[in-house]
Amino acid sequence: MIQPRVQDTTISAHERIYRALRTRIMHGEIVPGEALTLRGIGKSYDVSMTPAREAVRRLVAEGALFLSSSGRISTPVLSNERIEELATLRALLECELASRALPRAHFALIERLEGINQGVNQVIARQDATGYIRMNLEFHRTLYLRAQAPAMLAMTETVWLQLGPTMRALYGRLKRKEPPYNHKLILAALKAGDEPSLRLAVRTDATQGLLMLKG
């Protein structure tokens, strides 16, 4: 009876670390190229190196962390080509999710999205970069959940995960003082039931800022 309990504790610990690190990376709390250590991760979450190693392994497999041949762990620094590739994936996946969500975009959903957009206003006023990324992703995720396409949404979230640190760098470049204008266009298209305008607004919102980072 003792062995299964030890095993379950290990699984629970590595899952907890995995989810916590995944959230931090996705929300841009760790900047591009920042080095991490298994010892440091274990100390931060009060666990041994074994669950820390397993959590890192999963995040490396998802492209959220980079493991060098020497064993150095860091968040990736994306090349121009990689940024363009991920921006293209965002456009393809998110336009399709938005399109599938449109028939189910009832008043309650639009009202919810407008409320989230007000939250975006507040974090921008506080110059809260990670808060902005978190609220921006919540805006998109809330819409895309209505698409009822879980596999497609999971792929989209993996792209967001890989872009998290880069999105933090983008926030510093843009120095936003108001919510993304394309959010207003997305809301207007949802209210009008206008699929072409919705796809255009989502595509622009997903790619416009990222492509500014090239060069």
**pLDDT tens per residue across span 69-96:** 898 999 999 998 999 999 999 999 999 9
Contact 190, 113 (CB under 8 A): yes
Per-residue tokens: 101: 């969500």
d(CA 29, CA 21): 9
The answer, yes or no, to whether residue 173 has pLDDT greater than 70, is no
d(CA 189, CA 48): 50
pTM confidence score:
0.88
Per-residue tokens: 198: 């919705």
The answer, yes or no, to whether residue 7 has pLDDT greater than 60, is no
Which residue's entry shows tokens 């940024």?
A: 83
Hey, CA dihedral for 116, 202, 18, 130, is it positive or negative?
A: negative
